[in-house]
Amino acid sequence: MSKPTSHSSPPGARERIVLTALKLFYQDGIRATGIDKIIAESGVAKMSFYRHFPSKNDLIAEFLRRRHEVWMQRFTEAVETKLAQGSGGLEIIADVLRHWFDDPDFRGCAFINTLAETPLPESQQHQIIRDHKASLESYITDLATRLGSPAPQTTASAAMIIIEGTIIRAHMGADPTVCDTCKDLLKRISRSQRKPNESSVKRNEPPLLPGL
């Protein structure tokens, strides 16, 4: 339907708008980025903008969808490459994240950031954000399955917590060693596995190290 999105040389008006939004919304935040700025930077007339996107919200939704596409594409590609090199288990995710954090334009997770800017949980934006994270978790579940995890769902659920936390800490400007800590955590959850709901309270496990 409509335009072929990847065709040839000069990007059309709509594509230029989306590309500019991809950059500015991520860089400065959604509320801080005015339509006028996007219009100016993408070299498009205001009417052209509103022809393609009836309101700013429509552009925000498209921004999130496109960001999802390119982020997932890059992430899975990087993971699969490392995996094909046989360089480890689930913990290779930490290396992929580290590479992302090294990008000078890194400014945290676009979805987490947008979540923080969007109060209403019923909004379309929240839905797209949830879909993105569900998609990521689903991929990691698949990954855990392929790596032979006995409880891939549980592993993925724990991995999501670790990933989100690491992204946040990196965004906060934490020490680069967060990625080491992240890697260590990922190793742990992919080696020993246990379902958190199954009587995890009264399990009798000897502490590996003295104290408490």
Pick from 27, 43, 69, 74: which binds DNA (CB under 7 A)? 43
How near is the Cβ of 58 to its own copies at its closest, in Å? 19
Using CB distances below 5 to 8 A depending on partner kind, what does residue 70 bind out of DNA, its own copies, none? Answer: none
From the list 50-58, 108-116, 138-146, 157-165, the region that binds DNA by CB under 7 A is: 50-58
41 interacts with, out of DNA, its own copies, none, CB within 5 to 8 A per kind: none
Q: Which is nearer to its own copies, 34 or 43 (CB)?
A: 34
Quick one: tokens of 192? 């020993």
User: Which residues of the shown chain bind its own copies in the complex (CB under 8 A)?
Assistant: 27-29, 31-32, 89, 107-108, 112-117, 119, 121, 126, 129-130, 133, 147-151, 154, 157-158, 160-166, 168-169, 171-173, 177-178, 180-185, 187-194, 196-197, 200, 205-212
What, of its own copies, DNA, none, does residue 182 touch, CB below 5 to 8 Å by kind?
its own copies
Considering the complex, state which of residue 10 and residue 148 has its C-beta at the smaller distance from its own copies.
148
DSSP at 195: -
Closest CA to 189 of 170, 162, 164, 208: 162
What's the CA gap between 136 and 114, in Å, rounded? 17
197 binds, among DNA, its own copies, none (CB under 5 to 8 A by kind): its own copies
Closest to its own copies by CB, 44 vs 128, is 128
Q: Does 51 bind DNA (CB under 7 A)?
A: yes
CB of 26 closer than 8 Å to CB of 68: no
d(CA 212, CA 200): 18
Task: State whether residue 126 is helix, strand or coil.
Answer: helix
User: Which H or E run contains 64?
Assistant: helix 56-84
Nearer to its own copies, 7 or 202 (CB): 202
The CA angle 111-117-123, to the nearest 5 degrees, is 80
Largest Cα separation within the chain, whole Å, is 69
CB of 179 closer than 8 Å to CB of 101: yes
Q: Interface with DNA includes 117 (CB under 7 A)? A: no
> Whose CA is closest to 61, among 157, 128, 136?
128
- Binding residues for DNA, rule: CB under 7 A, are 12-14, 33-37, 43-48, 50-52, 54-57
